[in-house]
Amino acid sequence: MRIPYIYDFDDAFQVKYQAGRYERFESLLGNKFDYVVRKASAVLPGNSYLYQYAHSLNQNCTVVPTVVDHTRYLPRHAKRDPEVFNVGWIGSPSSVKCLKAIEQPLAALAKEGRVRLSVIGGVTAPIEGVEVINIPWGEATEVENIRRFDVGIMPLPDDPWTRGKCAFKLIQYMACGVPVVGSPVGANCDVITPTCGILANSDHEWLEAFRLVRDSCAVADMMGASGRSRVAAIYSLDSQLPIVENVLRSIAG
């Protein structure tokens, strides 16, 4: 229609037509994503991995990460329960399978003391020795539930689809002042710094990360405060709105 448009994306959508359930449509729609990106007046990929792909097709690219309203995601004020270590995850039924990767570290941790796994938005299988709580997702309750976490996690396998993920879980946790542990995949590596969380790539590394957060309130508090500051500076509505506004004005002009 010859109307300028901006394409914003936060998943590796090109992968859907190259493998998996949309593979049978590749001959018909396989080039659709590239065409849409190439013809856009501007492209707003959500992380550096997506930027590399989009920039090969369109030079007018600006990374705009997934953000939260950090005035809504507030840190908790109450001290954590010393009787139980609450590990938290938020997501969807389709991604809850990623939790299988940390079953062994959690089971090992549970042999040392009481451990709870709070799962928001999905249903996961029981883990030996771990108190698993499956919590329905709700917009009105998600922040309050995240604020109860002692640590927020984002385990991921390493593949072309997960490298396109924009670490929204981590950003939600950090905005609530919760220390984080995540797999070194995709945007997780951009979001997590040594001051706000830990990247873990093996059962041993996950277990050691859990122990550090559990055993040192000072470290946990430092990570939580640092993570919230990082969200306010980079992953908040306030920080990204001027960037999006400039892109919109430049195209409209």
Per-residue pLDDT tens for 163-182? Answer: 999 999 999 999 999 999 99
Regarding whether 211 and 194 lie in a shared domain, the answer is: yes
- Residues 22-50 have a mean pLDDT of 84
- Residues 204-213 have a mean pLDDT of 98
Domains contained in the chain, number: 2
Q: Which domain holds residue 34?
A: 6-67+236-252
Per-residue pLDDT tens for 78-117? Answer: 788 889 999 999 999 999 999 999 999 999 999 999 999 9
Regarding whether 50 and 133 lie in a shared domain, the answer is: no
Whole-structure pTM value: 0.93
The Cβ of residue 243 has, within 10 Å, a number of other Cβ atoms equal to 14
Nearest to 155 by CA among 132, 182, 179, 173: 182
Regarding whether 34 and 102 lie in a shared domain, the answer is: no
Regarding whether 48 and 90 lie in a shared domain, the answer is: no
- Residues 42-53 have a mean pLDDT of 96
Question: Per the domain annotation, does 74 fall within a domain?
Answer: no
The answer, yes or no, to whether residue 22 has pLDDT greater than 80, is no
Distance of CA 231 to the CA centre of its chain: 12
Of 2-16, 217-231, 233-247, which range is least confident? 2-16
Q: What is the dihedral of CA 200, 204, 210, 216, to 10 degrees?
A: -110
Residue 21's pLDDT band, with cuts at 50, 70 and 90, is low
Helices (H), 123-167: 142-146
Is residue 137 within 8 Å of 121, Cβ to Cβ?
A: yes
Regarding whether 159 and 209 lie in a shared domain, the answer is: yes
Regarding whether 11 and 51 lie in a shared domain, the answer is: yes
The Cβ of residue 174 has, within 10 Å, a number of other Cβ atoms equal to 33
Residue 30's pLDDT band, with cuts at 50, 70 and 90, is low
Residue 77's pLDDT band, with cuts at 50, 70 and 90, is confident
Q: Determine the pLDDT at residue 152.
A: 98
CATH number at residue 221: 3.40.50.2000
- Residues 209-233 have a mean pLDDT of 97
Regarding whether 221 and 138 lie in a shared domain, the answer is: yes
